[in-house]
Structures are given as C-alpha cells and as structure tokens.
Structure 1
Amino acid sequence: MLGKGVACAELARVVRAGGHLVIGIGDADAMAKMPFTAYGFTLRPVPEVIDALERAGCSVTHHELPNPPIPHHLLVATPA
C-alpha cells in the first residue's frame, strides 16, 4: 500500500497544468466514533493530509463543512 506522501506526489504529478485536486474527507475525530471505521479504515487528521499535499508541492485551501453527524473537510490543492 502506498504511503500518503507517495500518493499525494503522484496526484500532483498527474494533474493537468493549471488543474486542481479536490479531496473531501470526513473529520477523523468524528469518524473514529462511528462503528464501521474499525473495519479497514485509515483515519488521518486533516493537518496531516494538508502537510502531505504541501510536501508534494501543492498549495492547499481548506474548507470546513459542518455536516452533522460527521463534519467534512474539503481540500483544494493546486500543484506548483
């Protein structure tokens, strides 16, 4: 399985010039309380995902979407 750094670098590599990556993830703390996440989910804190995208050469805009019961995060990444 690829690490998040390798995956983010590959995403940044394949985006068309001038393109954007849009990644939507559920809030890791809220997701950890859901019974189904114990079965094959890898929960990552949003700052960790943003850091991986930035290390891959992207600038990242973070939008929080308070969507009960699971808040969502929308990350828009633009490769350099």
Structure 2
Amino acid sequence: GVVPMQQSVLEIGSAIERGFDLLFKDCQETAACHAEFPELRAEFDQVVTKLSQGPVMEQVHDPVTGEKTLLTLTRAKFYGAIRM
C-alpha cells in the first residue's frame, strides 16, 4: 500500500507487528477462533522460525488445474499473505 506523507516509512514495521499482535489477541478472545487455533501465536512463530532458515518448497495441487506444482514459500511471501 501507499504510506501517507505524514507517516514515516520506518514506522511500517511496528504497525505490521501491532497488526499481528491484534490478530492473535482477537483470535484468543473469539471463542470459535480460539477453539480452532488454540496455539495460533506459537504456530505462527514456528513457521516464521522455519522460514527464517530459508525457503520451504512443497509439491501442491494447483487450485484451478488440479495439477501438482512446486510452491516456494519465503518468509517475505508468508508475511505478505498474512497481511493481505
């Protein structure tokens, strides 16, 4: 997205972190989410730790064609997908 002129680009990192913290808090406080993902923060941290060591590549089924394709997931792609 675009950063407003009055906001420092350097503040984006803390805003993203705050967004993740609010996501985890909201899930903890929402019965259905907490029941489905009781360890959401710990699982998120495990994924980030693994992706910090390097990309993860897996064979997955393409959702459109159904054919197997190689998916490469990096930490940046993971964070981007969560933010969106």
Could you say whether these structures have the same fold, taking a TM-score greater than 0.5 normalized by the shorter chain as the test? no
What TM-score do you get using the length of structure 1 for normalisation? Answer: 0.32
Q: Which gives a bigger RCO, structure 1 or 2 (Cα 8 Å, sep 6+)?
A: 1
The answer to which structure has the higher helix fraction is 2
Say which structure is richer in strand. 1
What is the TM-score of this pair, normalised by structure 2?
0.31
Query: Which structure would you say has the larger Rg?
Result: 2
